[in-house]
Structure 1
Amino acid sequence: MSETASNVVKGGSFLLSQASPDQVFTPEDLSEEQRMIGSTAREFSEKVLARLHEIEQDKPFHSRPLLRELGELGLLGLEIPEEYGGMGLDKVTATVATEEYSRAGSFAITIGAHTGIGSLPIVYFGTPEQKAKYLPKLATGEWVAAYALTEPNAGSDALGARTTARLSEDGKYWILNGTKQWITNAGFADVFVVYAKVDGEKFSAFIVERNFPGVSIGPEEKKMGLHASSTCSLILEDAKVPVENLLGEIGKGHVIAFNILNIGRWKLGAGTVGSSKMVLATSIEYAKTRKQFGKPIAELRAIQQKLADMAVRTYVTESMGYRTAGLLDSSLSDLDPNADMREVGKRLEEYAMECSIMKVFGSEAFDFVADEGVQIHGGYGFMDEYAVSMAYRDSRINRIFEGTNEINRLLIPGTLVRRAMKGQLPIMQAMAGLQDELMSLTPYEESDEPLAQELFMIDRARKVFLMLAGLGVQKYQMALEHEQELLLGVADIAIEIYAMESAVLRALKAVKRGQPGLKVEMATVYCQEAFERIAATARTLLPAVEEDGDTLRTQLSMLRRLTRYTPANTVALKRKIAERLLEKGDYVC
């Protein structure tokens, strides 16, 4: 099992108080067993990558044998309990494997859909009989799983689904009618987790086998990217699903759908780390061999800056991913395997905000890395024969998968307000007490301690968040949900705070162990640049929540005090980072 947080922390509490380095899990904490699993996953991914073109041409023919091979290695059952043929391992171990799988190009989507959103609904919400029937086959790869939620008229609005379920006259079957769209693995999946409304009203989940009467599959979609993954429609025409295949309870499908999506969002973000590392390594290699103006372009400061920026984003995403995995483990480690779905849902929902943050940040960080990778390759990056062009195409879907980034951004303040109203997180009290704190602000005092100013900046960023969110709540109250520009901006600040803190705490933990590497430099660069973005976001939004001229000027003056800092020499720091990257020829932190 992994080393999890030393004590369970409340989801969203990073916005109110400073965690300690000992409370976060970092990649440096991985056990030897976890590293070996990661190594096995990487070897498999590299083999798949070498055959990716074949897989793209004939997905069903190649995908099933490859999944069976993964099953033989035990890697399809990492999160499936041992009693059902899996390994019963934790989320940190799943993170290691997910990161390495992402090196397999778009075949990683096939793996992720099977091991994550396809299998986990049964792992967490299935009856003992359902688990015994399906999980052993899913763990070995004998059967392939898929997740069927999206419909032509119901994407981010999952509860707007039109697929229906009614009980047959003899009471033996659920009769399902509807079409599910863009279902990953549908071309060869054996079992689908399908969402439908019982009697057209009660949103519920069902386990649907491919060979059930009334089940058919549409043709393969032609996509911008992800050419090695199967994407088809699932068509249900009076599909007969045995009554015992109801998953969870009637009308409680949202508990399954949304909480499995929480896991999916975290995994998506974690997976972008491996993809980013691969693009970075490819770009370093190209920069060292491509010559312009009589020398390798790797010697150009502009190229070095790009490489450093790519590495910094990768480091921060990696830090956030393992921190979030550790938090999830702290919530799930003592979960009774026979707990009812409400308890399971509560545990999975605890870090919903962090999972949304992970999804948004990871997908946008990989987009940045892939885009810069193409730019470093120049015209060659636009050619199909170069792997970086494939990464660029494949990366774009991540901002749409598992709920669009806009929806996930809106979920962050929405979750926060909901928890505040239930008394689960003292965010309202923090907002109320902020005014006294703002009146007694003291400037940063120089310190020789590593990252002292960055910790100070994170604390000030929290105050900016509370000030802006508090003004929004005060002005709009129950109508706040309609002020989406404000909510998106507040979410961006929350995302930056979690990113900054994750990067800094990992670096401080490494310093304490005497193995800082480049972590202090990377954390410094990121915090300095993120703090500027936070200040800019707040300056843009303050006039939207404070229309009185005098009061607005007072608030802007307070914002300037909150965001005052002494800039570090990030140019020099990035040169140092780039030097080490070029020396190693790969990601290093």
Structure 2
Amino acid sequence: MSTTLNNKVIGGSFIIEDVDTIITPEDFTEEHRMIGETTTEFVAGEIEPRHEEIEKLNYDLTRELLRKAGDVGLLGAEVPEAYGGLGLDKVSATLLNERLTKASSFALSVGAHVGIGTLPIVYFGNEAQKQKYLPTLASGEKIAAYCLTEPSSGSDALGAKTSAVLSEDGTYYTLNGTKQFITNAGFADIFIVYAKVNGKDFSTFIVERTMDGVSIGPEEKKMGIKGSSTCPLILEDVKVPAENLLWEVGKGHLIAFNILNIGRFKLAAGCVGSSKDTIEYAAKYANERTQFGKSISSFSLIRKKLADMNIRTFVLESMVYRTAGLFDTGLAEVDHNSDNVGQQSAKAIAEYQLECSINKVFGSETLDFVVDEGVQIHGGYGFIQEYRVERNYRDSRINRIFEGTNEINRLLIPGTLVKRAMKGELPLMQKAMALQAELMEPIPAPVLENTLDQEIHLLKMAKKLFLMAGAQAVQKYQMKLEEEQEILANLADIMIQVFAMESAILRTRKLIDRSGEAKAQLAIYMTTVFVQEAFGQIENYTRETLAAMESGDTLRTQLSILKKLTRKPVMNTLEIKRNIGDRVIATEKYAL
């Protein structure tokens, strides 16, 4: 069974197939670079001078700046041109999203508006809804918010209690309920609200702030992202016109989950930008701060920290733009003028839901690592608000909770893969059975002749380890596998590391082909170190998973196979990290 269809990569297929090429930042066109520069200039000119005002949560200022962002096209990137937007591809929108992160809390206000707030209408709205709402959303005249979470339903989104009852004459729905933790709620004009019609059919509505019965609760006092609005939305007998139903009754879960997929991906893109910013702050501080008569950047432990920060950011960046490329291919097939545009959009987005969760988990945990090390490099000053890294540290923490907690996403990653396999969309079990036969034979030593051959070999072995452990889990637990959350989490972590390893390898090979090994040396260093360390983690996840499922002679046999699959030479990664750290210190920014 092929894992490509009309040149479109099938979601999740990376774990069982070799991938040849991906989209990388080195593929940016002149138009991409112009979009990036426009965003950077807007943030530098309009946002950075007013950071302190924004952090005090000034509604009027935020709205003013959102309107200015709309004037330069930053709010309409993904809105079709027919409705006042720019109709840009996902790579462009991802670059824009990455560059906005220097705007701190304001970036979240923009992200909630353009992503989860506006895209439901872009992908699932009918023509009348698009004509009515998208132009003013793209310009910033109106601001959007996404309303899914409730006081009693967070991760269990379908447990929502907000109700919608159709009037006898069929002209309007009456909505009642409370939504919680709603970004932009304090000043939003348009709310994408999820409610159950007749207590059972999960559906989506476009609610306007001016409708009778709509009210906003008090601002939450948050740990971070203080310059963004986060309030409850309260709906009391709100009469919403029937034409404000988005898509169809009972299709709300498809809208909610697919918009969350996009949100997860966008969150990871933001983590790329914030990680790069933190590396810059930390490297500059390390060069300026002196202790024992010399700059702390001369200490090898500081260089190692900066190297690790740079490596993980490089890998995350590779993953994010790879995924943007996948979306561009898939969404290009959607006919926005079709009567079934909602179904087409849902299918195109859902294709890469697994990759979105992978990006979200790896991205949020990468940023948490980077900002934590950034604070540590700053020492006591990292704990002081005067230094930007302190805010980055606080703002980062929400990302592991936003858009579905990382725990939920870890359960979704292997769960989605197994469901796709059960539907016949991926030959997962066929590949696992073929591997079982292969493992009974001696494993030949790899031929390592070229740069990255060792890393490519380890990637192939990592995929075999996943198949080995994953197939064992499916066979042992079958329909009860979803109850074995620790095993699912381990399988998810293997998949995350495989996607990360592969993204770094493919990007670096592309760099070598394009510019030669000398110019790609730093990327080679980072890929080599990351693959070595990630493979060690995969080995540990696999061993722990096998030990949880079997014992005695069966386990000993499996561990013997594990040992054969994980043979690799010992590498001096510390020396390589010194070279990477030196480059970061010399450039005082994310280095590549």
Question: TM-score normalised by the shorter chain: which range applies?
Answer: over 0.9
8 Å Cα contact 2:446/2:457 also seen in 1: no
Unaligned runs of 5+ in 2: none
**Aligned-pair distance for 1:42?**
1.3
Change (3 A) 1:6 1:279: farther
Partner of 1:106: 105
The 5 Å alignment of 1:173-322 reads: 173-322=172-321
Partner of 1:575: 578
SS at 1:51 equivalent: helix
SS at 1:206 equivalent: strand
Percent identity over the alignment is 59
Alpha-carbon deviations, 1:250-308, whole Å to 9, x = none?
01101100001111000101110010000000000000010111100000000000000
Alpha-carbon deviations, 1:32-57, whole Å to 9, x = none?
11111011111222341331110122
Alpha-carbon deviations, 1:290-348, whole Å to 9, x = none?
01111000000000000000000100000000000000111011210034122221111
8 Å Cα contact 2:54/2:105 also seen in 1: no
**Aligned-pair distance for 1:441?**
4.6
- Give the residue type in structure 2 aligned to 1:534: I
Alpha-carbon deviations, 1:78-137, whole Å to 9, x = none?
000000000111100011000001111121110100010000000000010000000000
Equivalent-residue separation in structure 2 for 1:103 and 1:316 (angstroms): 20
Q: Which moved more, 1:255-264 or 1:45-54?
A: 45-54
Alpha-carbon deviations, 1:479-510, whole Å to 9, x = none?
11100000000000000000000001000000
8 Å Cα contact 1:183/1:231 also seen in 2: yes
Partner of 1:165: 164
Equivalent in 42, 45, 55 of residue 44 of structure 1: 42
SS at 1:229 equivalent: coil
Partner of 2:553: 550
Equivalent in 536, 542, 558 of residue 540 of structure 2: 536
Equivalent-residue separation in structure 2 for 1:343 and 1:57 (angstroms): 42
Equivalent-residue separation in structure 2 for 1:528 and 1:439 (angstroms): 26
Equivalent in 18, 28, 31 of residue 30 of structure 1: 28
**Aligned-pair distance for 1:381?**
0.5
Equivalent-residue separation in structure 1 for 2:442 and 2:389 (angstroms): 48
- Give the residue type in structure 2 aligned to 1:215: V
- Give the residue type in structure 1 aligned to 2:514: R
- Give the residue type in structure 2 aligned to 1:465: F
**TM-score between the two structures when normalised by the length of structure 1:** 0.97
Equivalent-residue separation in structure 1 for 2:373 and 2:328 (angstroms): 34
The 5 Å alignment of 1:113-124 reads: 113-124=112-123
The 5 Å alignment of 1:420-439 reads: 420-439=421-440
Partner of 1:393: 394
Equivalent-residue separation in structure 2 for 1:241 and 1:200 (angstroms): 17
8 Å Cα contact 1:8/1:331 also seen in 2: yes
- Give the residue type in structure 2 aligned to 1:27: P
- Give the residue type in structure 2 aligned to 1:398: N
SS at 1:232 equivalent: strand
Equivalent-residue separation in structure 1 for 2:14 and 2:421 (angstroms): 14
SS at 2:366 equivalent: helix
Equivalent-residue separation in structure 2 for 1:285 and 1:480 (angstroms): 49
The 5 Å alignment of 1:355-370 reads: 355-370=356-371
- Give the residue type in structure 2 aligned to 1:532: G
Partner of 2:472: 471
Equivalent-residue separation in structure 2 for 1:58 and 1:468 (angstroms): 49
Is 1:559 aligned with 2:557?
Answer: no
8 Å Cα contact 1:180/1:235 also seen in 2: yes
**Aligned-pair distance for 1:572?**
1.5
SS at 2:571 equivalent: coil
- Give the residue type in structure 1 aligned to 2:346: G
The 5 Å alignment of 1:508-519 reads: 508-514=509-515, 515-519=519-523
Unaligned runs of 5+ in 1: none
Partner of 2:129: 130
**Aligned-pair distance for 1:443?**
4.2
Equivalent-residue separation in structure 1 for 2:321 and 2:353 (angstroms): 15
8 Å Cα contact 2:57/2:228 also seen in 1: no
**Aligned-pair distance for 1:474?**
1.0
SS at 2:142 equivalent: coil
Equivalent-residue separation in structure 2 for 1:57 and 1:401 (angstroms): 22
Equivalent-residue separation in structure 2 for 1:396 and 1:293 (angstroms): 34
Partner of 1:16: 16
- Deviating beyond 6 angstroms after TM superposition, the runs of 4 or more aligned structure 1 residues are none
Partner of 2:527: 523
Q: Which moved more, 1:8-17 or 1:303-312?
A: 8-17
**Aligned-pair distance for 1:169?**
3.2
SS at 1:474 equivalent: helix
Q: Which moved more, 1:316-325 or 1:559-568?
A: 559-568
8 Å Cα contact 1:581/1:588 also seen in 2: yes
Equivalent-residue separation in structure 1 for 2:362 and 2:48 (angstroms): 25
SS at 1:109 equivalent: helix
**Aligned-pair distance for 1:447?**
2.2
Equivalent-residue separation in structure 1 for 2:377 and 2:160 (angstroms): 44
Equivalent-residue separation in structure 1 for 2:589 and 2:489 (angstroms): 35
- Give the residue type in structure 2 aligned to 1:334: E
8 Å Cα contact 1:454/1:527 also seen in 2: yes
Equivalent-residue separation in structure 1 for 2:289 and 2:311 (angstroms): 23
- Give the residue type in structure 2 aligned to 1:20: D
Equivalent-residue separation in structure 2 for 1:50 and 1:272 (angstroms): 22
Equivalent-residue separation in structure 2 for 1:497 and 1:509 (angstroms): 18
**Aligned-pair distance for 1:207?**
0.3
SS at 2:168 equivalent: coil
8 Å Cα contact 2:40/2:100 also seen in 1: yes
8 Å Cα contact 2:265/2:360 also seen in 1: yes
Alpha-carbon deviations, 1:359-411, whole Å to 9, x = none?
00000000000000000001110111111111110000000000000101100
Partner of 2:349: 348
8 Å Cα contact 1:444/1:456 also seen in 2: no
Partner of 1:409: 410
SS at 2:369 equivalent: helix
- Give the residue type in structure 2 aligned to 1:52: H
Change (3 A) 1:75 1:553: same
Equivalent-residue separation in structure 1 for 2:399 and 2:118 (angstroms): 20
SS at 1:553 equivalent: helix
SS at 1:326 equivalent: helix
8 Å Cα contact 2:364/2:399 also seen in 1: yes
- Give the residue type in structure 2 aligned to 1:423: G
8 Å Cα contact 1:528/1:567 also seen in 2: no
Q: Which moved more, 1:380-389 or 1:276-285?
A: 380-389
